[in-house]
Amino acid sequence: MKPKECVLYSGGLKGAEAAFGAVAERYGVEEVNFTFDGHEIERTRGVRTLSHEELRHGDVSLAYVSKLLRRRFPDTEYIKRVLQTIWHQVNNAREIYVVGRIQEDDTVMGGTGWGAEFAKLCNKPLFVFDQNRVAWSRWTGTEWQSADRPVIGHTHFAGTGTRYLNESGKAAIERLFEASFKSA
């Protein structure tokens, strides 16, 4: 697989998404960053501002997401739009890479958790780099399993995660691209 044949779907936010985008740009991977009017993002390459109609395609009940993730999300238009943009990232990708933290209940911390749960619901390959454990895990359909060195296997993939990216998370993103495109 050649980097120029690939597309990274992300959100362009500070932290993991910006890091995924920066590395993708260095490797020559096309970048699509879903956003909405009034949403401040860090990446300016490949920005795709979603219309109200497009945002509605990704509409999901906040009560449902809160129940699924076992935590409460504020019922605001802003949070709804953030979740809708995450829906577009996962919906367009064939596999999902997340940097964050896997919690004891097998969900991923933060709003990123919705992307991981949606990937599970869609039965898409899902990999999470847990910054606390400093390790990749893969969702098997029933549990998290160690994934020593994942390699991007689809030309359309999503890269998302925490705004609070640490050095191990940055290094994991670098190694993911290096392992995936080293011979390209």
- State the pLDDT at residue 12: 97
The percent of residues above 70 in pLDDT, for the chain, comes to: 99
The predicted pLDDT at position 89 comes to: 97
Distance CA 110, CA 26 (A): 28
Q: Which residues contact 171 (CB under 8 A, 6 or more apart)?
A: none
% of the chain surpassing 90 pLDDT:
86
Q: pLDDT tens digit string along 61-120?
A: 888 888 888 888 888 999 999 999 999 999 999 999 999 999 999 999 988 899 999 999
Beta sheet of 30-35, edge-to-edge order: 47-49, 30-35, 7-10, 156-161, 95-100, 126-130, 135-139, 144-146
Rounded to 10 deg, the angle between the 16-27 and 167-181 helix axes is 30
Predicted local confidence at residue 111, as pLDDT: 81
pLDDT at residue 144, rounded to an integer: 98
Predicted confidence band of residue 183 (pLDDT cuts 50, 70, 90): confident
- Look at residue 72 in the predicted model and tell me its pLDDT: 86
Which residues have CB under 8 Å from 14's CB, separation 6+? 42, 163
**What is the per-residue pLDDT for 8?**
98
pLDDT band at 161 (very low <50, low <70, confident <90, very high): very high
Query: Which CATH number describes the domain made up of 3-181?
Result: 3.40.50.450
**pLDDT of the residue at 184:** 61
**Whole-number pLDDT of residue 146:** 96
| pLDDT for the residue 74 | 87
For the chain, what are the domain ranges?
3-181
pLDDT at 66: 87
Average pLDDT, the chain: 95
> What pLDDT does 182 receive?
86
pLDDT score, position 166: 98
Residue bearing the bigger pLDDT, 50 or 111 = 50
Instruction: For residue 24, give every residue at least 6 positions away whose Cβ sits within 8 Å of its Cβ, in sequence order, or none.
Output: 6, 8, 30, 31, 159, 177
Give the predicted TM-score (pTM) of the model: 0.95
